[in-house]
Chains A and B, each alone.
Chain A
């Protein structure tokens, strides 16, 4: 008997952005930004614990973040945070049935009602807002 192809592409299939359009890109960005934000959150908890070492310990750790590299990392975190939030609200609304269209008979070319212009606009808005927030964040960080 032929081995059954379970179509398990693993992590390669999960991160392949070439299929299914902008929704697939949003799916990947949502996971990447989620993992990035979790990593930042853990780092932030560790970073803030340096206040227990007193004024010198706090200043030493803060100095590490007040560099060009530190500002760049923080700008990326701001972008991830805004994208994850806006796209997350879109996903929540979609799961609640908002903006996914009405059920209809599946006719050729079988375009899913849920992959409509409203949700695509939501994804593009999330990307644009993330970019604007990153620029604003950089302005604040370098504006001191």
Chain B
């Protein structure tokens, strides 16, 4: 499926995830600057951030957007470097697997802290 998707569609997804991520990451950074930088990173503050459902939802969306954008960018760079059916398939599936792994790992943190499992 990854190999059959048209590059033009993949690039639209790449640009769409980039624009959405820019807006949401800006909110994420501004949250660090609403208080002092060091103060905002204190344990209690960070836990409170994670347990505020809209913010946790935003973190989850950022995680998904940046994982898609980042690993597709890596795929593009690797495909610029070398081509070939087996290589392209390995790179595409490898990047999708890494993307799913990172989303799963990051989601685990968000869900566990949000549900008070710390």
Which residues of chain A have a CB within 8 Å of any CB of chain B? 10-11, 14, 31, 34-35, 37-38, 41-42, 45-46, 48-49, 51-52, 54-55, 58-59, 62, 66, 81, 85, 88, 92, 95, 140-141, 143-144
Q: Which residue of A lies closest to B108 (CB)?
A: A49
Asked if B118 CB lies within 8 Å of chain A CBs, one says: yes
On chain B, the number of residues with a Cβ less than 8 Å from chain A's Cβ atoms is 35
Contacts of A52 in B (CB 8 A): 109, 112-113, 117-118
Q: Which residue of B lies closest to A86 (CB)?
A: B22
Asked if B94 CB lies within 8 Å of chain A CBs, one says: no
Q: Are B102 and A42 in contact (CB under 8 A)?
A: yes
Question: B76-91 interface mask toward A, CB cutoff 8 Å, 1 = contact, 0 = none?
Answer: 0100111000000000
Q: How far is the CA of A38 from the CA of B66 in the complex (A)?
A: 8
Contacts of A51 in B (CB 8 A): 43, 46-47, 50, 109, 113, 118
Q: Which residue of A lies closest to B47 (CB)?
A: A51
Distance in Å from the Cβ of A79 to the closest Cβ of chain B? 14
Contacts of A59 in B (CB 8 A): 43
